[in-house]
């Protein structure tokens, strides 16, 4: 009887351990949340200027790219943070169609059309909003939304 109870206890503890292990997610981090909101505002303001010559805003672009590099480095060293890190990597990838890719095209083309800027800006802001929502809530729903975007890009 005691042997059966011991086996049951071991099985229950094993299931608890396995289920908890699969739910590991980084906890709320005020710095990540704050940097995400700052980058969103900086991105929005700078993207609005892309209808003007790139050279007029080169310093601001360099600063924003530096902020992206910093957040990637910061997120890289947080445990259980693969999802946020992956999204920041996508946003900072100059070969992708989000923030860093937009800034690269602006540099290459010098000016962009207002229509293109608005469409690109809405996509970038949506992506950053998903990161902000995930950082604020760490819920399954916010995780699923972020994963859906990551997998569609």
Q: Please give the average per-residue pLDDT across 9-17, as a whole number.
A: 56
| 22: confidence class by pLDDT, cuts 50, 70, 90 | very low
Q: Please give the average per-residue pLDDT across 82-95, as a whole number.
A: 95
Q: Please give the average per-residue pLDDT across 12-33, as a whole number.
A: 63
List, for residues 32-83, the tens digit of each pLDDT value. 999 999 999 999 999 999 999 999 999 999 999 999 999 999 999 998 889 9
More confident residue, 28 or 37: 37
Q: What whole-number distance in Å separates Cα of residue 113 and Cα of residue 96?
A: 19
Q: Please give the average per-residue pLDDT across 5-11, as a whole number.
A: 56
List, for residues 106-141, the tens digit of each pLDDT value. 999 999 999 999 999 999 999 999 999 998 888 899
Determine the pLDDT at residue 81: 87
Burial label, 49 (beta-carbon count in 10 A; 0-12, 13-18, 19+) = middle
Q: In the predicted model, is pLDDT for residue 21 greater than 50?
A: no
Q: Please give the average per-residue pLDDT across 97-112, as a whole number.
A: 98
More confident residue, 44 or 14: 44
């Amino acid at each position: 009887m005691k042997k059966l109870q011991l086996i049951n206890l071991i099985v229950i503890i094993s299931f608890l351990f396995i289920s908890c292990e699969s739910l590991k997610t980084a906890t709320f981090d005020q710095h990540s949340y704050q940097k995400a909101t700052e980058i969103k505002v900086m991105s929005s303001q700078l993207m609005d200027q892309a209808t003007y010559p790139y050279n007029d805003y080169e310093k601001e672009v360099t600063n924003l790219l530096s902020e992206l590099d910093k957040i990637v480095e910061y997120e890289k060293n947080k445990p259980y943070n693969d999802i946020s890190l992956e999204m920041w990597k996508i946003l900072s990838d100059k070969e992708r169609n989000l923030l860093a890719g937009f800034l690269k095209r602006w540099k290459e083309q010098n000016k962009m059309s207002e229509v293109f800027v608005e469409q690109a800006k809405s996509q970038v802001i949506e992506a950053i909003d998903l990161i902000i929502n995930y950082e604020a809530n760490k819920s399954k729903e916010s995780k699923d939304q972020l994963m859906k975007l990551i997998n569609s890009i």
